[in-house]
Amino acid sequence: MKEKIWLALPAALILGLLLISTAAAQDPTPIPPAITDDQVNAIARQMFCPVCENTPLDVCPTQACAEWRELIRDELAQGWSEQQIKDYFVQRFGPRVLGAPPASGLNWLVYVVPPVIFLVGLFLLYRAYQGFRGPAVVPAAGMPTAAESDDPYIKQIEEELKKQ
Amino acid sequence: MATEIEDANGQATVERSRPRWGLMLAWLGLAALLILLFFGLLKAQRGQMKVGEKAPDLTLTSFDGQTYKLADLKGKVVLVNIWASWCKPCEAEAPFLETAWRYYQPRGDVLFLGVAWTDTDKKSSEYLQKFDITYPNGPDLGTRIYQAYRSTGVPETYIIDRNGVLAYAKISPFESPAEIQQAIDGVLGK
């Protein structure tokens, strides 16, 4: 009988440990996924902090920018999409935070004016090129053409050109 | 369309006429752009707000959900303080502002409004708790207040008189509660 108890005790202990570890594995509280710096910076590099102008958020060394990056990390951990995060930042800190201004209102000019200026420039270049070639010369009525010229030198040139 | 003209040698040349409407459109577009640029530069060059100017209207929703609209606060002297939790000079003046607020709060005709600029809610709350700030504070959504007041940094403080006119501006931190008291008393005594 005593031998059976000595055998049953370790078995019960092992069984108990197994049950505890299984229960721990089935803990209903999900562990939030770890958000990497790369994930944060992928969004941060598209934004700018108004405090330090012209420095993208991913490389800005100020405390304000560090806090903004932490905010991005928190929002990513909550499952927010990139667009949701950008929208939040615009609503909260204004459209200046975006690397590219939203295409609305007068901002449209930023997207429309440069291509228009480029096209106008191309057109002007074309016009200038046409001008360099010189205007089309049409002999006025009654004026002799080169072929009809009495100048022997001109005649000779014309004949040489015909031979070629 | 082509026009035949005669040059100095008596030879006729063909000059193509330009499409006039296109040229006019290009000039109009250029003029419109220059006008926009002019007004943009004018706006950018206005500089800081001056005492005596009408204070721009502002709407602040505090962290506890109350909404304050400057236009509805006529008859009160309003102190607007723009701050950020990461700003060290703001931290230095925070206790002075709170002391001054506790002095004026019982009167009922002076209101302090704190505007958290480019700050996260978490850090703003920590800051308000750290300095035990009890007057209304809220985020500057879209940095609209900062822009409307043509601010150039933090901290900045504006005191608006009972008629909604800017009566005092401080573009640096206050050094003591007495300095704040002197500024507010000056506006109250007007």
Q: Which of B81, B177, B67 is nearest to B124 (CA)?
A: B81
For chain B, say whether A109 makes contact (Cβ under 8 Å).
yes
Beta carbons of B13 and A51 less than 8 Å apart: no
- Residues A69, A82: Cα–Cα separation, whole Å: 13
Backbone angles phi, psi at B4, to 5 degrees: -95, 125
What whole-number percentage of chain A has pLDDT above 90?
35
pLDDT digits (tens, 9 = 90+) for B18-41: 568 888 888 898 899 899 889 888
Interval A78-90 mean pLDDT = 95
For chain A, say whether B144 makes contact (Cβ under 8 Å).
yes
Q: What is the pLDDT of residue A130?
A: 86
Instruction: Give the homologous superfamily in CATH for domain A37-100.
Output: Cytochrome C biogenesis protein (1.10.8.640)
* pLDDT classification of A49: cutoffs 50, 70, 90: confident
Residue B52 belongs to a domain: no
Q: Which of A62, A113, A138 faces B14 most closely, judged by CB atoms?
A: A138
Q: Prior bond to B95 cis, omega within 30?
A: no
For chain B, say whether A62 makes contact (Cβ under 8 Å).
yes
B88 to chain A: which residues are within 8 Å by CB? none
Instruction: List the single residue in B with minimal CA-CA distance to A64.
Output: B86
- Residues B4, B118: Cα–Cα separation, whole Å: 67
Q: Which of B23, B16, B4 is nearest to A123 (CA)?
A: B23
Average pLDDT over chain A reads 80
Q: Does residue B152 sit in the same domain as residue B66?
A: yes
Q: Beta strand pairing status for B12-16 and B2-6? A: antiparallel
pLDDT digits (tens, 9 = 90+) for A26-44: 555 555 668 999 999 999 9
pTM attached to this predicted model: 0.71
CATH of the domain at B92: 3.40.30.10
Would you state the structure tokens that stand for residue A152, as one six-digit string? 């022997």
Give the CA count within 13 Å in the CB-facing half-sphere of A88.
16
Q: Which stretches of chain B score pLDDT less than 70?
A: 1-19
A120 to chain B: which residues are within 8 Å by CB? 26
Q: Does residue B84 sit in the same domain as residue B135?
A: yes
Query: How far is the alpha carbon of A58 from chain B, nearest alpha carbon, in Å?
Result: 16
Full residue range of the structural domain in which residue B34 is found: 2-44
Would you state the structure tokens that stand for residue B129, as one six-digit string? 């708790």
Residue B49 belongs to a domain: no
Q: Does residue B72 sit in the same domain as residue B31?
A: no
Q: What is the pLDDT of residue A71?
A: 95
Judge residue A105's burial from the number of C-beta atoms within 10 Å of its C-beta, 0-12 exposed, 13-18 middle, 19 or more buried: exposed
| Number of domains present in the structure of chain B | 2
Q: Does residue B36 sit in the same domain as residue B64?
A: no
Q: Does residue B97 sit in the same domain as residue B144?
A: yes
pLDDT digits (tens, 9 = 90+) for A106-148: 888 888 888 988 998 998 899 888 888 765 556 566 666 655 6
Q: What is the pLDDT of residue B1?
A: 46
Find all residues with CB under 8 Å of B90, minimum gap 6, and list them. Answer: B83, B84, B154, B155, B173
A-B CB pairs within 8 A amount to: 62
For chain A, say whether B156 makes contact (Cβ under 8 Å).
no
State the DSSP code for A56.
Answer: B
A116 to chain B: which residues are within 8 Å by CB? 29
Dihedral, B33, B38, B43, B47 alpha carbons, nearest 10: 150
State the DSSP code for B56.
Answer: P
User: Residue ranges per domain, chain A?
Assistant: 37-100, 103-132
ipTM score for this prediction: 0.77
Q: Report the sign of the C-alpha dihedral through residues B79, B84, B88, B91, in that order.
A: positive
Segment holding B137, helix H or strand E: strand B137-139
Q: Does residue B23 sit in the same domain as residue B106?
A: no
